Structure 1
Amino acid sequence: MYEMVKGSNIALSSLSDSVGSVIVSLGWASPTGEGDADVSVLLLGGQGKVRSDADFYFYNNAVAADGSVQLLGKAPTGEGSEDRIVFDLTAIPPDVERAVVAASRYGGARFGELDDLRVTLADGTGDGLLRFAIDDAGSVSAFIFGELYRRGEEWKFRAVGQGYDNGLAGLATDFGVDIDDDASDEVEQPDDEAEDVVRPAAVTAEQLPRSPEPESSPAATAEQVPSAPLEAVPAPRRSEEDAQSKKTAVRPRTAKKKVTLPKVVKKSLAENDSWKEARLFPVSALKSDRDRETRATSVLLSVMAQVPEFGRRLTAAFGAPAGRMETFTEVSLPHGDTPRRPDGVIRVERAGKLWTALVETKTNGNALKPEQVQAYADIAARRGYEAVITLSNDVALEGSPLVDVKIDGRRKHKVALWHLSWAEVAHQAQMLLRHEGVGNAAHAWLLQELLHYLQHENSGCHGFQNMGAAWVPVRRGIDDETLCQGDPRLLEVVESWERLIRQVCLGLGGELGHKVLPVRRAKRGADPGARRADMADRLCTDGRLHAELRIEGTPGVLAITADLRTGKLRTSFDIPAPEQGYPLTWSKRLIRRLAEAPADLHVETLVEGEAGGPRGTLERLRPEPADMLPKNGAQITGFRLSLFKGMGNSRGNTESGFIRSVDDAVQRFHASVVTSLDRSAPRPTPSAEHAAAT
């Protein structure tokens, strides 16, 4: 990989032959695991300015109408997460000369507080081409990592490394984005006057990309957010008092309203409950694994072709352009004496150019076969296919490929190998259908039918469902203390645990409509293999598996610990102590906020310099909040809320299985504890806001 220094540039064609589509990734590490930033892209014309505010892309305006830019969001890495952006360089309009890639922090945070700040670029096959490491970001809240720019007929990349003290507002203003601090004159266009192309109204300073403040409450802000998803930059979230101070709400103009299906269940006309509703994709006739694979492939590929938003969402990360997509099943391709029949083929055409991929599918607990995937990679290389995409219930891990495929480096045409889990497919369908919306009711219905099919237990597509052959021996070895550090079975269990946690994140994120990512502590190292080996050693020593989840819009992290010695699952959430007030007031307020939480919730007072303070169940503490105070008057640093649940016995995803018990524990804790805190989060009074402002 080509290492760049600040100010250097290089032609992409000198690094790879497959640079029509590239993936730019911005990454960083945080010592606490909590540091984050938001990515943005600005397309600039000949004068070094945006042609219009529509050339400004961020998390609420993530996809260009022509498919030239798509922000894919965060993906977990060994030391945290990184934001990925796909550029279809063949689709960028000719009057755009530069594409600036930047990021911003919020809430007073600075880039100098992050570690391992970097930008990498990969070609359409997924091969890393260049890397620019930044070690002098300094105390800035907005930062330009690099830019793609034209020189004649080719594209080049420049390592910029420039920070802005005045944040993203200053950066965006420099490039011509209209920042309107007093937007009271902006009025939303009626639907019948909307233009065919999305052209957002003037972007306000409040609309610039930033994640929700730590104290924000999804439930508290739900009343201010429009129920229908918007296609461009939405109106900013405001408190009720702030909203009343504006004469009119600022909303972008959109081409049309996006459609989602109603959440209210219509009354059934069936004579009795035993009648089953007719489904577009039935599951009752599936008898064998082959039937499930064939049906699942056909169902998925057909919906991808018919719902452009969904097809584009799944293939953009693989370097596919935005264009007309066609999908095929039961394909026969020559390979030696015996033709090969991949499960499917995807073909995308744009401007006369063709992007193609072979698809290999597995359902239930069936593993991908290396020799089969190798054969498809060889066929793809000979026939000029760009990619081989594998689909299974397994979840790929960083640094640990599911199948070992050798690519002939002597071939000029390179083939990318990509993997999708069925859980990720369902997650993307949920995000579009339930939270972001799609173009019309027919597309929404197709996605709903797809989601129903994928989540049905008979489809064989309901996710990672087996902790592996090492699970039972490791549990027994921990019980009778016969395991030794370095036992390879420990590492197998750790990898299965990591796959399970990633799947839990996908499921919870799809339900909430927020990003849910596993936390990676920077101090534990960046190498995935070394990190997993350390977890395996700790599993052998203390018999516990531990993970932390960060839910967007929620302060703190949700921790989950599986204690294999006691057979208990613990889900917990730490709340910092308020900066002002009295400890007894804090205790009473916390008990009131947990009015709807389960009675068996454990509350522990965290004390400075000590292992722990007073603790008890919510049922016992409700009548006596003073019991939460340490008797010696020690300094309270916060409170830990925990729920305990029995761990499933079997390794699989049965009703009594371990995987089901972990998923249920996380879902229950979030629904009964975290949301209780969100619903009861106090809103500032007008007098308090005035006092803070003065």
Structure 2
Amino acid sequence: MVKGANVELSALTEATGPVTVALGWTDPSGSGEADVSVLLTGPDGKVRGDGDFVFYNQPATADESVRLLGKTPTGSGSEDRILVDLAALAPAVHRVVIAASRYGDATFGELNDLRLGVSDSSGEPLLSYDIRDAGPETAFIFGELYRRGDGWKFRAVGQGYDTGLGGLATDFGISVDESGEEDGSQPQAAQEPAEETAGGVPSDETPVDGAQGPQAADATDGGPSTENTTEQVVKPAAEEKGDGGRRNGRLRTAKKRSTLPKATKPSLADGPAWQEARLFSVSGLRNDHEREARATATLLSIMMQVPEFGRRLTARFNAPAGTLQAFAEASFKHGDGKVRPDGVIRVARAGRIWTALVETKTGGNPLKREQVESYLEVAARNGYEAVITLSNDLGIDGEHPLTVDKRRLRKVALRHLSWAEVAHEAHMLAHHLGVANPSHAWLLSEFLHYLRQDGAGCQGFQDMGTAWVPVRDAIKAGTLRLGDKRSMQVAESWEKLVRQLCLRLSGETGLTIAPVLRRRRDGDSSVRRLQTVGSLVEAGRMQAEIRVPSAAGPVLIEADLRTGQIETTVEIPAAARARSLTRVQWLLRQLGEAPPELRVEALPPGAATGPCDLLKNLKAEPGLLVPPDGAEIGSFRLTLATGMGVRRGTEEAGFVRSVDKALDRFYGSVVRGLRADGGMAGGG
């Protein structure tokens, strides 16, 4: 679509379920993000009240007609998805405005590949809109869904505001407290008590996704901790009183949320071999069928018992919000025989039942095309909406890892989840976002423990594939050439590994961690893989940059297959001190826990190289980093090399685990302790 164009949705699809709106972009700098928001307006173009403003601290409307599905790292940067159930919208809602805003002075013109896409309930893309004229705007309306007669249309808007969230909000009848969000300061914590409905299900106003959860932990009893989330500083416009007076209502969405404590209870075991009893055990699993059956039953039961977790997963598949029930190994007639999917998920809402069949694989077992296609046929015959596959494989950019006959996807959506993505969602809720019921936080912790056990077979992407060893050996022999199809398979596996690294580190830190792409064409997965193949052929290296919001800069991961080394690198601006030696000393104070073999390089402004030495030598003689020509130090480059595993599979020495450990070590001992302090004035 082009700016200003509109289209009738019913002309694009026959599906009647919710639509998914996806906003995407690439951040070349890796230094900033954007937050999506949705405004529901009446015929006058204004919101009716605070419930019509959906944003990160209020991620859904009370009737669940609009819900933010969260930010997802993709191969092309980052994507925010929004579920809009048009049939469930109140008749008074005439427009659904899709917008986003950036922090501080960051503008949308600094982002690449700014785009919007709309998909129907089967996951079929309906339309796309690329925004190419963004500039100094700090808030942006991407598009809007609006009523036209008995139907809905979409309009590509592409309108920006250089006055930020305040300017955008004012146009729709919302006032913004200038002391809070606008300047990026942290809002005050609200002091409202938590509210729960029967059974621990959160009330309509309880934030489920997106709200920043508690960070503190109660280490005394080992149970879930509770803490209030932050209070949003956006206020609805003045509302009319019955007597003609006016009053300002403050939008308060803060509720108590339960998370797991950071400190663990002291062990009372009378020996290191004692294993604590767990709710979900991996003992007694004798074969792949038993692993798959237990993994499926465990997942589906947790989805039913923890509403926030079930909703985060089903929302990915355009399921409506409602009562969720799940069943294991239901039998269906197929041809002259029967088929038995691993599970069935059913969601009931307003007299309608949404149903998906589930097929599960654990360990290194691949999905089977014939089996999945038979489930697609069964789903279509029974009027079911989706077939969901789960395995340790990862899909990139929405691609399903299995290629099936597209004719079978006309009525049924085929969706995929990696066990790594399942663990990520559970980790975010248990440790960062929080859940309404403290017992549910504990259930999620037991589920996470189960997923991490080798016997469960649910550890995520662990195998670089059959092409890995031949390509590695060809690189060492100098015989790898462009056109080798195996190198493309390795490039695809590398991309999946990087995405899993981002998911895992996001869960552990509570931050949105995603790949950094420097060029517009990097948004195409085939282009990215060709770049990796070129690097493998020319230099024997694969590399990726990931953005860690708390870090001083993007983290570069490079795997050198010729030397068998994994290098992790970050560049940090030097503090504004008068002397170069003082700048070096400033850095060394922050590297107290860093490994002695850390390589430190001092870079003059605009220079690609500079004085370099190991941390163990610099602690004794910091002056080794001072440029001999008296040049100023503009930044420091820190690099840590780790040995590379060579085996293909899931053993301790495997390549995948080597990369995992290299990043964990670098982040924990180097990156986490760094701070960008270049703007500080100092003497010396």
Shorter-chain TM band: 0.7 to 0.9
TM-score by length of 1: 0.87
The CA distance in 2 between the partners of 1:651 and 1:255, in whole Å, is 47
Q: Which residue of 2 aligns with 1:497?
A: 494
Cα distance, 1:141 vs structure 2: 1.1
The CA distance in 1 between the partners of 2:447 and 2:196, in whole Å, is 31
Contact 1:104–1:167 (8 Å) recurs in 2: yes
Q: Which residue of 1 aligns with 2:326?
A: 327
Contact 1:194–1:253 (8 Å) recurs in 2: no
Aligned CA distance change for structure 1 residues 251 and 511 (closer, same or farther; 3 Å): farther
SS in 2 for 1:117: strand
What does the per-residue CA deviation read over 1:641-680, in whole Å, with 9 as the maximum and x for residues that have no partner? Answer: 11111101212232111111110110111111111114x9
Q: Which residue of 1 aligns with 2:284?
A: 285
2:45 to 45, 48, 63: 48
Q: Which residue of 1 aligns with 2:127?
A: 130
Whichever residue aligns with residue 378 of structure 1, its letter is E
Aligned CA distance change for structure 1 residues 256 and 142 (closer, same or farther; 3 Å): closer
What does the per-residue CA deviation read over 1:607-658, in whole Å, with 9 as the maximum and x for residues that have no partner? Answer: 4565411101111112322221221234543210111111012122321111
What does the per-residue CA deviation read over 1:320-376, in whole Å, with 9 as the maximum and x for residues that have no partner? Answer: 010011101111111111211111111111101111111100000011111111111
Q: Which residue of 1 aligns with 2:154?
A: 157
Whichever residue aligns with residue 313 of structure 1, its letter is R
What does the per-residue CA deviation read over 1:367-426, in whole Å, with 9 as the maximum and x for residues that have no partner? Answer: 1111111111121112111111100011112375411111327x9x61111110001100
Cα distance, 1:113 vs structure 2: 2.9
What does the per-residue CA deviation read over 1:150-183, in whole Å, with 9 as the maximum and x for residues that have no partner? Answer: 2343222121111112111111122122323368
Q: Which residue of 2 aligns with 1:240?
A: none
Q: Which residue of 2 aligns with 1:102?
A: 99
Q: Which residue of 2 aligns with 1:204?
A: none
Cα distance, 1:269 vs structure 2: 4.6
TM-score by length of 2: 0.88
Aligned CA distance change for structure 1 residues 602 and 568 (closer, same or farther; 3 Å): same
The CA distance in 2 between the partners of 1:161 and 1:82, in whole Å, is 17
Unaligned 5+ runs, structure 2: 181-185, 217-224, 235-248
* 1:430 equivalent in alignment to 2:421: no
What does the per-residue CA deviation read over 1:535-581, in whole Å, with 9 as the maximum and x for residues that have no partner? Answer: 11210110011111111233320111111111111011011244674
SS in 2 for 1:574: strand
Aligned CA distance change for structure 1 residues 379 and 611 (closer, same or farther; 3 Å): same
Whichever residue aligns with residue 138 of structure 1, its letter is G
Aligned CA distance change for structure 1 residues 524 and 584 (closer, same or farther; 3 Å): farther
Whichever residue aligns with residue 191 of structure 1, its letter is P
Pairwise mapping of residues 402-441 of structure 1 onto structure 2 (< 5 A)?
Answer: 402-408=401-407, 414-441=411-438
Aligned CA distance change for structure 1 residues 278 and 90 (closer, same or farther; 3 Å): farther
The CA distance in 1 between the partners of 2:54 and 2:316, in whole Å, is 17
Whichever residue aligns with residue 573 of structure 1, its letter is V
2:193 to 175, 180, 191: 191
Q: Which residue of 1 aligns with 2:220?
A: none
Aligned CA distance change for structure 1 residues 333 and 194 (closer, same or farther; 3 Å): closer
Q: Which residue of 2 aligns with 1:675?
A: 672
Contact 1:377–1:407 (8 Å) recurs in 2: no
The CA distance in 1 between the partners of 2:205 and 2:654, in whole Å, is 51
Aligned CA distance change for structure 1 residues 427 and 83 (closer, same or farther; 3 Å): same
Cα distance, 1:496 vs structure 2: 1.1
The CA distance in 2 between the partners of 1:82 and 1:442, in whole Å, is 32
Aligned CA distance change for structure 1 residues 496 and 229 (closer, same or farther; 3 Å): farther
Contact 1:544–1:564 (8 Å) recurs in 2: yes
Contact 1:327–1:347 (8 Å) recurs in 2: yes
The CA distance in 2 between the partners of 1:14 and 1:162, in whole Å, is 25
1:512 to 501, 509, 519: 509
Pairwise mapping of residues 248-397 of structure 1 onto structure 2 (< 5 A)?
Answer: 253=252, 256-397=255-396
Pairwise mapping of residues 168-247 of structure 1 onto structure 2 (< 5 A)?
Answer: 168-181=165-178, 188-191=190-193, 228=226, 230=228, 233=231
1:602 to 599, 602, 626: 599
Q: Which residue of 1 aligns with 2:630?
A: 633
SS in 2 for 1:398: coil
Cα distance, 1:597 vs structure 2: 2.0
Aligned CA distance change for structure 1 residues 161 and 542 (closer, same or farther; 3 Å): same
Task: Give me the identity figure in percent.
Answer: 54
Q: Which residue of 2 aligns with 1:6?
A: 3
SS in 1 for 2:620: coil
Q: Which residue of 1 aligns with 2:183?
A: none
The CA distance in 2 between the partners of 1:527 and 1:682, in whole Å, is 35
Q: Which residue of 1 aligns with 2:64?
A: 67
Aligned CA distance change for structure 1 residues 94 and 552 (closer, same or farther; 3 Å): farther
Cα distance, 1:483 vs structure 2: 1.6
The CA distance in 1 between the partners of 2:138 and 2:88, in whole Å, is 31
Q: Which residue of 1 aligns with 2:527?
A: 530
1:117 to 95, 114, 132: 114
Cα distance, 1:116 vs structure 2: 3.0
Cα RMSD of the aligned pairs, angstroms, is 3.1
SS in 2 for 1:163: strand
What does the per-residue CA deviation read over 1:252-310, in whole Å, with 9 as the maximum and x for residues that have no partner? Answer: 74585222233333344544444433322111111101100000000001111111110
Aligned CA distance change for structure 1 residues 111 and 274 (closer, same or farther; 3 Å): closer
Cα distance, 1:66 vs structure 2: 2.9
Cα distance, 1:230 vs structure 2: 4.4
The CA distance in 1 between the partners of 2:658 and 2:187, in whole Å, is 53
Contact 1:49–1:175 (8 Å) recurs in 2: yes
Aligned CA distance change for structure 1 residues 547 and 96 (closer, same or farther; 3 Å): same
The CA distance in 2 between the partners of 1:579 and 1:187, in whole Å, is 34
The CA distance in 2 between the partners of 1:5 and 1:326, in whole Å, is 42
Contact 1:37–1:104 (8 Å) recurs in 2: yes
